[in-house]
Amino acid sequence: MKIVLKYPLLFYLVFAVSAVLAQDKEIITKEPKFKPPVVKTYLGINQNGASVTKEEASQLIGLPLKIVDDKNNTYPVDSYQFLYRRKSAVRNDNTGKKETVFTIVADRFFATPLPKIWIENTKDQFQTDEQLYFFDIVVKDKEGRKFFAPELKITIK
């Protein structure tokens, strides 16, 4: 008892070290590396790089994205980003001539198809050379593991 009172710091140091050493060691198990399946992204029957008419685009904009693997299994979409590259005309202040410019409207969505307001605001407005671009598409497998699906870019001809 005299040692404890004579060297209180030593007592606390020994106590702290023994408490640390007495803790259970955490067991780390390696989970097998997840290799996502090879999937394809569809909007209707169209894949990335498709060209469609204005009328077809008006119908496609209201359809859900479909993610399918080679065994025809479908995967639910967790989230995605959609970008609409819109064609506009502006008058150049210096020359007074009309020029064609492109603007973009984009957002992130968590359900497919697009919200009704997006469908209604775009479906009758399509023009040649505009684009519908779905990217950063996140899907889930049966175990709830998330992975990216290929992007989908459709050009209006």
Give the tens place of pLDDT for each residue, 135-155. 999 999 999 999 999 999 999
- 152-156 and 131-140 strand pairing: antiparallel
Name the pTM for this structure: 0.76
For residue 6, the model assigns a pLDDT of 58
For residue 23, the model assigns a pLDDT of 58
Number of other CB atoms surrounding residue 13 within 10 Å: 11
Buried b (16+ CB within 10 A) or exposed e, 74-100: ebebeebebebbbbeeeeeeeeeeeee
For residue 128, the model assigns a pLDDT of 95
For residue 26, the model assigns a pLDDT of 72
Domain boundaries, the chain: 39-156
Ranges of the chain whose pLDDT falls below 50: 1, 4
For residue 13, the model assigns a pLDDT of 62
For residue 142, the model assigns a pLDDT of 92
Positive or negative: CA dihedral 46, 50, 53, 55: positive
Residue in this structure with the two tokens 């479908």, named with its chain if needed: 74
For residue 129, the model assigns a pLDDT of 95
